[in-house]
């Protein structure tokens, strides 16, 4: 019944599927249901890791963008994600870009999106997170990813991020400054060290004790990646999330005309894997082990997770893999990771 439902959902418009998927995941977070599911999907204790000054039941988390408004955190935890990054949240609530804005490329195990930070705004999400903490019970590590409101111009970006950080940091186990989405005009320019350093300094002051990370693009050249790692060292931030989606459309199997019809947006999934690994390796050359690197981009199975951990990732996240492999994804990843760590090869 579970797989039948999933098969039906996969045939619908991707955003409609996302909506109904979220309804089901919220149901998975209801008290009796979540206890049963967690029993089934909780990672083996041997996978526990420590990062960002806290304990994680496994290195596997949900990447930003799936639960933008923190409405299904308990459901994702029940399904086996040990950390959930909510957001991107912006200071002002906003509807995002016009639809259609999300496309599947099954031949490439990829997605293209230009969602444009559709979200309920920092105040509402902060209230939701406060309620989650208030009601207690088992929760994953909760990261909060913040971005620039579309209505704020680039000159006003710092003040806009600081508003979000002030509202959200008290409810977050870690905070992420997202300067790498391709879907907000001018945003990725904030990755330039001359803009990034003062921005991160201001957000760091607002975040107080909450560990602060910055999320970067896979499209940066080697020097830019190393420069950002240096900024993280200089400011003594907690780490880096690498990577967001790419604007590249190279090496796709999907027909070029179909890809062109989908239009602009960030490409995620298998085609980002190489770039994400490249950035991870570069970061680890500059960042000491006490700085976290959360690796994301093209993770589909336990072998992928092991590859990232071997390359120096502290934690990993996935989004597109969850879309293609279905609701049991995190449980499958943790089981597969355990198998590959104990010497059972997943791939021929
Ligand atoms: C539909 C969609 C929406 C996304 N929204 C966000 C977002 O709001 N903020 C963010 O930092 N990343 C966002 N991402 C990027 C993912 O968090 C992740 O970095 C990227 O998709 C690469 O991982 P993957 O290959 O496992 O999907 C989004 C990705 C997708 C597919």
Domains of the chain: 2-341 (3.20.20.70)
Contact between 272 and 245 (Cβ < 8 Å): yes
Containing 232, the helix (H) or strand (E) segment is helix 222-235
pTM of the model: 0.96
The protein residue with its alpha carbon nearest to ligand 1, atom 7, reads 65
In the residue annotation, 181 being an active-site residue is answered as yes
Q: Which two tokens stand for residue 162?
A: 């600081």
Given the residues 181, 217, 268, 314, select the one marked as catalytic: 181
Which of 4-13, 25-34, 82-91 is predicted most confidently?
82-91
Distance from the alpha carbon of residue 96 to the mean position of ligand 1, in angstroms? 14
For residue 194, give every residue at least 6 positions away whose Cβ sits within 8 Å of its Cβ, in sequence order, or none.
Answer: none
Q: Give the tens place of pLDDT for each residue, 271-304.
A: 999 999 999 999 999 999 999 999 999 999 999 9
Query: What integer pLDDT is reported at residue 345 of this predicted model?
Result: 61
For residue 27, which phi and psi values (nearest 5 degrees)?
-65, -40
**Alpha carbons 330 and 336: distance in angstroms, whole number:** 10
Confidence label for 195 from pLDDT (cuts 50, 70 and 90): confident
Distance from the alpha carbon of residue 116 to the mean position of ligand 1, in angstroms? 11
Q: Is residue 305 within 6 Å of ligand 1 at its C-beta?
A: no
Percent of all residues in the chain with a pLDDT value above 70, rounded to a whole number: 96
Residues 109, 142, 196, 280: is their CA dihedral positive or negative?
negative
**Alpha carbons 265 and 246: distance in angstroms, whole number:** 8
Query: What integer pLDDT is reported at residue 3 of this predicted model?
Result: 62
Q: Give the tens place of pLDDT for each residue, 155-175.
A: 889 999 999 999 999 999 999
Ligand 1 atom closest to the CA of 113, numbered from 1: 1
Distance from the alpha carbon of residue 295 to the mean position of ligand 1, in angstroms? 12
Q: Which two tokens stand for residue 22?
A: 């979220």
């Amino acid at each position: 019944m579970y797989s039948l439902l999933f098969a039906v959902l996969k045939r619908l418009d991707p955003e409609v599927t996302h909506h109904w998927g979220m309804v089901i995941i919220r149901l998975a977070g209801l008290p009796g249901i979540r206890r049963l599911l967690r029993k089934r999907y909780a990672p083996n204790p041997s996978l526990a890791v420590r990062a960002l000054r806290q304990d994680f039941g496994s290195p596997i988390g949900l990447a930003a963008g799936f639960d933008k408004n923190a409405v299904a955190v308990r459901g994702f935890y029940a399904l086996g994600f040990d950390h959930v990054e909510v957001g991107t949240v912006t200071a002002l609530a906003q509807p995002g870009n016009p639809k259609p804005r999300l496309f599947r490329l099954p031949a490439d195990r990829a997605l293209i999106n230009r969602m444009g930070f559709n979200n309920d705004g920092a105040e509402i999400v902060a209230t939701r997170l406060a309620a989650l903490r208030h009601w207690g019970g088992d929760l994953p590590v909760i990261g909060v990813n913040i971005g620039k409101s579309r209505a704020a111009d680039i000159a006003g970006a710092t003040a806009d991020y600081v508003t979000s950080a002030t509202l959200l940091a008290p409810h977050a186990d870690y905070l992420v400054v997202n300067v790498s989405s391709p879907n907000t005009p001018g945003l990725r320019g904030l990755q330039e060290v001359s803009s990034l350093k003062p921005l991160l300094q201001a957000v760091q002051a607002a975040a107080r004790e909450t560990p602060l990370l910055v999320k970067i693009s896979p499209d940066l050249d080697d020097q830019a990646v190393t420069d950002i790692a240096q900024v993280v060292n200089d400011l003594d931030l907690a780490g880096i999330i690498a990577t967001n989606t790419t604007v590249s459309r190279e090496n796709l199997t999907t027909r070029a005309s179909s890809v062109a019809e989908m239009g602009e947006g960030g490409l995620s999934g298998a085609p980002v894997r190489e770039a994400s690994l490249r950035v991870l390796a570069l970061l680890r050359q500059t960042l000491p082990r006490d700085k976290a690197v959360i690796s994301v981009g093209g993770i589909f199975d336990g072998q992928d997770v092991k590859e990232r951990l071997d390359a120096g990732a502290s934690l990993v996240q996935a989004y597109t893999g969850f879309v293609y492999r279905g609701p049991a994804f995190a449980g499958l990843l943790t089981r597969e990771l355990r198998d590959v760590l104990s010497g059972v090869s997943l791939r021929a």
